[in-house]
Structure formats: C-alpha cells, structure tokens
Amino acid sequence: MSRSRRNTVRLVVAGGGTGGHTYPALTTVQAVTRILNERGTTLDATWFGTSTGLENRIARENGIPFRALAAGKVRRSLRPSALARTALDMLKVPFGIAQAVASLARHRPDAVLSTGGYVAVPVGLAARLTGRRLVMHEQIITLGLANRVLARFATAIAVSHPSSLNTLPPRARRRAVVTGNPIRPALLGGRRAAAHVDYGLDPILPLVYVTGGAQGSAQINRLLAQVLPDLLEHCQILHQCGPDNHDAVRASAASLPAALAHRYHLVPYVSGNLADVYAAAALVVARSGAGTLAELTALSLPSVLIPLVPTAGHEQQRGAEALQDAGAAVALVGEQATGERLREVLLPLLKDPGRLADMRQAARALGRPDAARQLAELVIAHTPAGRR
C-alpha cells in the first residue's frame, strides 16, 4: 500500500432528504476532517444521495464530491396516490443498491457513515454486501425507518439520547453508544452584544426568540399574534416568521401600540448570526425537531416547544416531552397549542428568573456540545487511522 493511501481515510457518507439528516452528516464530516488533519492524515469523502435532495446542494457547496443514486421513499399516507408513488419508488431500490454496490466496490471506502433518510438504505445495504464497516447515526429518540433496517447489521450505532438505546433491536444494543446529535461548532461561540447591535435590541429587557424554522411556522406565527401585546409588556421579541409569511405578519403587527412596537423585531430568516441570537436569548419558542433540540440543550437554553403534529413516529412530540420531563422546556402539544395557553406559560416564566435559571441548568445537563467530535471519533475508530 502506498504511503499516500496509508495517510488518507476514505469515507462514504449516506444521508439526506431533510436538514435533520443532512446537517449532522456535514458537521460530522467537517469534524472528521479536523481530527484527521491534527493527526497528519487527510480525508477523502464522497457523499451519496439523490440528485434532487438537499444533500446534493449541501455537499457541493462544501466541496464534497457527490454521487447520485436511485432511492425509494416510503410514504406513510394510505391515500391511493401516496401508495401508488411508494410502489413506484420501491422499484428504484434494487437499482440503487446495485449502483451503491458498484460504487463501493470501486471506491473501497474504509467506512460508511449513515445519518438516515431513505437514501441511506441502498448505501447501507451495499456496505453490508461489500464488507464495508457501517457507522449509523440516529438523530431522533425513536429509530427512523431507514435506521430500523440498518441497525440490524451496522458495525457501530450512535444515538442522540440515552432512551434511544431501548428502541434498538436487543442484539444491536451492545454495538450502540450515545454521542448526541452534532451541531455546528459556530453556534457555540455566539456574542450577546453582537445580536443587540444587529437587531437594535435593548440590553436590559429579556429577549424571547421565536422561530418556526427556516420556512417559518404559520401555527406559531398565529399563536404569537394572539398574545403579542401582553408579552411585550415584559420582554422584547425577535421573531423569525419565514420568508413567505413576512408581509402578512408585518401587516398584523402594524396595530401594536407605539409604546410596545419597538420591542418587536420581525425578520424573515436568521442565518449567519444565529449564534449571537442564541447567546442573547433568555427563552426560545420553537418547533422541536431533532436539530433544534440538540442546539437548545447544547447551548443551555430554556424553551417553550410547539411540536409539529403529526410527524413520523410522533418524533417532535416525543422530543418536546423528553425535554419537558427533564425540566428544560414546556411542551404545548395538540389541543394545548393555543394562544391562551402560550400566554399562560410565557408570562410566569418571564416574571420568574429563578425558574428560567433552573430550566437552563436542566437543558445544560441534557446538552452534548461535543457530539460532532464524539461521532467523528467513532467513525475514525472504524478506519485504519483509528487502529494506528
């Protein structure tokens, strides 16, 4: 074996479809690269996914070679149109497996990292067929459909929450470790004062950051509108409403009293300075996707969570309730997600710094800010670099 080959780790990454699968994969690849570079080794990574998936764009934007595969999505709806589309998609799976087997046989990776999503299935099965080591990561508390398949033969299994261990097949548990869900390292270095400058915030008033995710949430926007004047008596609010909702939400807020209007800061999207916003926030109102929960706990942020319902396996509800049970959040689930209930929860919290401090401490106990490094080390341990 040549010296250059010995000093290079070859990794195939499979996962995508949504940001919940894609961004943990990207963060982990970046962590593997940093660790290997510290040890005088380089990473040769190739990302496998669908040509139309988010993973295609993210891989290319970050300079990671991308290989498009055929993959089939299982839709949980029983509507005839959904069943027909699922049946057609299942015809793609054997072809996707054949593509992945050929690619893995040619590329000969040292390991395969799967972060879930339906595209991970053909690559994971190909890893099994070609004798490649498969490291699987699950972001949510219960196993996703793809990872339920792959867990039975994955070389190593990483989960984000200790309770996830009980959802694994019994034989798989001895191959499992709790790493947490990787978050971007940049989020850990936020500057409170920078957010004050960027958004014209009052450094004295507590800041509530309200977000429905990148696209916004019509439900959260509606609930907030119902209680906005009452809340602004006690805090300032930075509201990420989503680009498509911005004009409507701004028009709705135009009737705020002048004495309160300057405390409401409406933006369509928070991007490059999210770390600063988190650093400035006293409390966050948000959905409860796996990535959001990982960020909130890693940054020790109290939260009021309004899960998206329904989701596959009720994953957002389970995640929100797990944080609530630990004392780190309040969950408004189903019929509890009303404007009146939001008011009843937020006003006492804003008036009780001691309880917010307790919630912050509970979130900190759940947080795993080093999750990316932990998962990266697990991947490396199953390559020649980890055995040298």
Q: Identify the CATH class of 3-181+370-383.
A: alpha beta
Task: Identify the pLDDT of residue 114.
Answer: 95
Of all residues in the chain, the percent with pLDDT exceeding 90 is 74
Task: Answer whether residue 82 shows pLDDT above 70.
Answer: no
Query: Does pTM surpass 0.85?
Result: yes
Q: Dump pLDDT digits (tens) for 326-347.
A: 999 999 998 999 999 999 999 9
pLDDT(85) > 60: no
Quote the pLDDT of residue 81.
53
pLDDT reported for residue 20? 87
Give the residue ranges of DSSP H helices in the chain.
3-6, 19-38, 54-61, 80-90, 92-107, 120-130, 145-150, 192-199, 218-232, 246-253, 258-261, 274-280, 290-298, 315-325, 339-350, 353-366, 371-381, 384-387
Report, as an integer, the average pLDDT of 360-387: 95
Do domains 3-181+370-383 and 186-366 share one topology? The answer is: yes
Q: CA–CA separation, 139 vs 137, rounded Å?
A: 7
- Going by C-beta distance under 8 Å and a sequence separation of 6 or more, which residues neighbour residue 306? 217, 219, 220, 223, 285, 286, 287, 288, 320, 331, 332, 337, 342
pLDDT band per the 50, 70, 90 thresholds, residue 1: very low
Q: Return mean pLDDT, the chain.
A: 90
The per-residue pLDDT for 215 is 83
Cα distance between residue 71 and residue 146, in whole Å: 11
Mean pLDDT value across residues 271-288: 96
Spans of all domains in the chain: 3-181+370-383, 186-366
| The CATH number of the domain covering residues in 186-366 | 3.40.50.2000
For the segment 118-127, the average pLDDT, to the nearest whole number, is 91
Q: Is the pLDDT of residue 170 over 70?
A: yes
> What pLDDT does residue 250 have?
94
**pLDDT tens-place string over residues 184-209:** 999 999 999 999 999 999 999 999 99
Taking residues 264-272, what's their average pLDDT?
92
